Amino acid sequence: MALLEVKDLKVYYKTLRGCVKAVDSVSLNIEKGRALGIAGESGCGKTSMAMAILRLLPVNGKVYGGLVMLDGVDILSMDDEEFRESVRWKRISMISQGAMNALNPVHTVGEQIIEAILTHEDVTRSEAVRRGNDLLEMVGIHPGRSKDYPHEFSGGMKQRIVIAMALSCNPDIVIADEPTTALDVMVQSQILKAIGDLRNALDLSLMLITHDLSIIAQTCDDIAVMYGGKIIEYGSVVNVYGNPKHPYSIGLLKSFPNIKAEKAPIISMPGSPPDLLSPPAGCKFHPRCPLAKGICLEKEPELAKVHPDNHRVACHNTDMLKKGTDIWNQ
Amino acid sequence: MESIEIIGGRGTIGCKKVILEVENLTKHFPLRRGIKGKLASNSTSTVKAVDGVSFSIMKGEFFGVVGESGCGKTTMGRTILRLLEPTKGKIVFKNTDLIALNTGQLKKIRTKMQIIYQDPYESMNPRLDVYRIISEPLRVQRIVKNLHDAFPYIKEVLEDVNMVPPEKYMTRYPYELSGGERQRVAIARALVLKPDFIVADEPVSMLDVSTRGGILNLMLKLSRERGVAFLYITHDLATARHVCHRIAVMYLGKIVEKGPTDDLVKHPLHPYTKALIEAVLVPDPKKRGFGEVLKGEIPSPIYPPSGCRLHPRCPIARDICKEVEPKLMPVDNNRMVACYFA
Ligand SMILES: Nc1ncnc2c1ncn2[C@@H]1O[C@H](COP(=O)(O)OP(=O)(O)OP(=O)(O)O)[C@@H](O)[C@H]1O
Ligand SMILES: Nc1ncnc2c1ncn2[C@@H]1O[C@H](COP(=O)(O)OP(=O)(O)OP(=O)(O)O)[C@@H](O)[C@H]1O
Ligand SMILES: [Mg+2]
Ligand SMILES: [Mg+2]
């Protein structure tokens, strides 16, 4: 049994112009100790999916169907209080997009971590202080600095403090939404290294959301590629990067620059991601797809297994793809 | 004048005519102090955003400037166009000394030098349609008398940026365009005056990966086919590696290394360039590793370290590095580095 299991999750937003199907039947699994990367372009539904799992959706957003199981227990049907008490922070915690800017400027970072621990766990203050210091140390910040205020830290240090806070109640799973997007490359590698070390030390599971394919390649075991509210390809990073099967994943990987590769023309896919207020019929990728044919315009493809070790793809044309054919050759 | 041969990039650049020459360009911002916001009188209390940079750009060249946040890239780009007044230094554009120009002369030469900003959302007026946005520079420069006369220019430039049929886009407003389309409009606006030189400040960093290639290829085509020179400002070394002819690496307001892209990326000389390249993640799960990063953090540009600005973080620093600042010196053909031990 997977630690976290999401099944057919649907998240819609009500807006004045209509209903936005931000997450449209998404299913995924995370095993204990494993890291799943969620990739995809802006607006494809990554954050909405995470927020739905943690019940942090804005008021106009709602879960319209599906299951979220934690250790086999359905956490979607739990009442709010029970969810707050026993799941959020304690079992699943989150490092949200731009979290480092959400640190409270009028409290020291130490107070904020201690506060987080005391709110969620039944421990004494001195116990919380000790744990807070340990956490800071783990993310590479000298505990002596716990008396400093957020503005006295650099962006990278603030992000590490946010990570320490997410770990403050010993969760089983951390959901990290673009944890390094605003940071410079050197700070980014420091943070990702810290996350990796913590994961090993604490046997943490991780859901890492990012549009940056190099981050997932470096830190995750599995990857789910999202497009227009759906997962269109899913599998181990070795399989998906080594042998991508969906024309969108193939294009995305090809357009992602690799500093270690020989200089090459940069490819681009025509068009832009769908407007989720009025997505195209059939496969949502068909207007941009070089392989699109009749059925793609009519019928939405299922996420189906293409390989014994659970590599899944949602495409009508998988059979047409031979390894080595360059469908994005322009 | 520097005369160089640019190999690598997309082939050799045919023409080796220098279009822009920057020498010892410096921009210090005065620091506001105290509750009354008085300017600090102490001359050391300035933000040394750009601190003596020199380089030239050839006609048709794609020249990259890379470096971490706050190293002075944007300030340098804006100062070159005199959108900011330089503290000192020399800027020669097409044999004209830009510093010597008065406002009127500057306005005239600006038709030949343009800037594209990072954020296509902020850089255009949301109440104007595409037609008006692109016609604005034509009217400011009095190239056309009225909106109507701008039509042929706008049609042509929209075709150039691959927004076809142009009529379909002319009446749209920014909010009716995707991010990539908006950046195309920004490029169209920069191109309509047929400039020879464009400062492109992080032109694709707000865009999705799948649409970045289109914009970059468009700019490369302009440099190749029309000889437009680009100063391409970015923090993304991996992309720069695939589009630039030459790259200059900045650290704390200084250029620490520059050279042809392939050489610089494959055989970096400066310890900072090495660390920067090491830190770039590779999108390949079979090649894992985070590389060695420099210790510590970037110091403040208000009080940059003595000697070589990297010395407190540098793995190979020796005594001299703390005392005497190394100059940017030629190494072999076309390459320059500012390090005693590179
Ligand atoms: N509160 C809201 N009301 C209406 N629509 C929303 C709301 N929040 C998000 N959306 C829409 O839902 C879709 C998915 O948004 P989401 O933030 O989940 O995407 P994302 O993949 O996280 O994107 P990014 O990479 O830009 O963070 C988008 O089309 C977005 O415009
Ligand atoms: N108007 C200003 N007044 C004072 N300081 C400034 C001003 N503009 C920029 N600076 C400072 O100058 C330095 C260089 O800033 P600049 O914006 O040029 O960096 P950058 O390399 O473009 O960074 P980024 O990658 O974040 O865009 C920074 O320390 C910045 O805080
Ligand atoms: Mg998001
Ligand atoms: Mg900048």
Q: Do A185 and B265 touch (CB under 8 A)?
A: no
Mutation site, A44, A141, A259, interface B, largest B CB count within 10 A:
A259
Instruction: Tell me if B283 and A256 make a contact (CB, 8 A cut-off).
Output: yes
- ipTM of the complex in this document: 0.90
Tell me, yes or no, whether A134 lies in a domain. Answer: yes
Does residue A186 belong to the interface with chain B, where contact is any CB pair within 8 Å?
Answer: yes
Q: Does A156 contact chain B (CB < 8 Å)?
A: yes
For residue A96, the CA-to-ligand 3 centroid distance in Å is 9
| Least trusted range by pLDDT, from A301-305, B63-67, B279-283, B332-336 | B332-336
Q: Where are the alpha helices (DSSP H) in chain A?
A: 46-53, 80-86, 109-120, 125-138, 155-166, 185-202, 213-219, 237-242, 247-255, 294-298
Ligand 2 lining (C-beta closer than 6 Å): B 29, 47, 49, 67, 69-75, 235, 301
Q: Is A305 helix (H, G, I), strand (E, B) or coil?
A: strand
Q: Is B224 exposed, middle or buried (0-12, 13-18, 19+ CB in 10 A)?
A: middle
Pick the ligand that lies closest to the CA of residue A20. Answer: 1
A11, A13, A53: residue to mutate for ligand 1 pocket, most atoms within 8 A of CB: A13
Whether residue A89 is contained in a domain is answered as no
Of residues B45 and B248, more confidence is placed in B248
At residue B37, the pLDDT reads 47
Both A27 and A139 in one domain: the answer is: no
Q: Is A200 in the same domain as A259? A: yes
Instruction: Tell me if A94 is assigned to some domain.
Output: no
Say yes or no for a CB contact (<8 Å) between A238 and B285. yes
Q: How confident is the model at residue B179 (pLDDT cuts 50, 70, 90)?
A: confident
Nearest ligand, CA A51: 1
| Cis upstream peptide for B165 (omega within 30°) | yes
Query: Domain containing A220 — which CATH number?
Result: 3.40.50.300
Report the pLDDT value the prediction gives residue B243, as an integer from 0 to 100: 95
Q: How far is CA B124 from CA B132, B204, B231, B274, B299, in A?
A: 10, 16, 21, 38, 34
Assess if CATH 3.20.20.140 describes domain B18-337. Answer: no
Chain mean pLDDT for chain B = 89
If you average pLDDT over residues A5-33, what whole number do you get? Answer: 96
Average pLDDT over residues B49-54: 96
Distance CA B307, CA B325 (A): 4
Q: Is B94 on the interface with A (CB under 8 A)?
A: no
pLDDT at A265 over 90: no
What DSSP assignment string belongs to A212-228?
Answer: -HHHHHHH-SEEEEEET
Q: Tell me, in angstroms, the distance from the centre of ligand 3 to residue A229's CA.
A: 12
* A88: in domain: no
Residue B140 has pLDDT above 80, yes or no: yes
Residues A155 and A29 in one domain: no
Our count of domains for chain A comes to 2
Give tens-digit pLDDT for A122-162.
899 999 999 999 999 888 889 999 999 999 988 888 988 99
To the nearest whole number, what is the mean pLDDT of chain A? 92
pLDDT at A98 over 90: no
Q: Do A194 and A325 belong together in one domain? A: yes
User: How far, in Å, from the CA of B201 to the mean position of ligand 4?
Assistant: 7
| Mean pLDDT, residues B261-282 | 96
Say if residue B4's pLDDT is above 90. Answer: no
Domain stops at, among A142, A170, A198: A170
Mutate to test the interface with B, among A186, A225, A227 (most CBs of B within 10 A): A186
Range of the structural domain that residue A131 is part of: 101-170
B276 with A185: Cβ contact below 8 A: yes
At residue A227's C-alpha, the angle toward residues A225 and A233, to 5°, is 35
Is residue A91, in this structure, part of any structural domain at all? no
Asked if pLDDT for residue B285 goes beyond 70, the answer is yes
Q: Are A205 and A163 within one domain? A: no
State yes or no: pLDDT of A118 exceeds 60. Answer: yes
Q: Taking residues B128-149, what's their average pLDDT? A: 94
Span B300-316, pLDDT tens digits: 899 999 999 999 999 99
How far apart are the CA of A41 and the centre of ligand 3, in A? 9
Q: What is the pLDDT of residue B7?
A: 40
What's this model's pTM, rounded to 2 decimal places? 0.91
**A143 plus A210 within the same structural domain:** no
**Banded pLDDT at B3 (limits 50, 70, 90):** very low
On whether both A202 and A224 belong to a single domain, the answer is yes
Contact map slice: B 135-194 vs A, CB within 8 A: 178-181
User: Are A209 and A243 within one domain?
Assistant: yes
Is the CB–ligand 1 distance for residue A276 below 6 Å? Answer: yes
Q: How confident is the model at residue B11 (pLDDT cuts 50, 70, 90)?
A: very low
A187/A60 same-domain check:
yes
| % chain B with pLDDT above 70 | 92
Measured distance CA(A310)–CA(A239) in Å, rounded? 10
Contact A176, A208 (CB under 8 A): yes
A217 touches chain B (CB under 8 A): yes
| Domain assignments of chain B as residue spans, ordered by start | 18-337
Domain endpoint, select from A143, A170, A197: A170
Instruction: Choose one of A124, A151, A170: the last residue of a domain.
Output: A170
Asked whether residue A211 falls in the same domain as residue A311, the answer is yes
Q: How many CB atoms lie within 10 A of CB B140?
A: 12
Residue linked to tokens 């190099």 = A214
CB contact residues (below 8 A), chain B span 275-314, against chain A: 275-277, 279-291, 293-294, 297
Strands B336-337 and B329-330: antiparallel
Is A193 part of a structural domain of the chain?
yes
Q: Does some domain include residue A230?
A: yes
Q: Is residue A96 part of a domain?
A: no
One domain, residues A15 and A122:
no
Q: Is the pLDDT of residue B39 over 80?
A: no
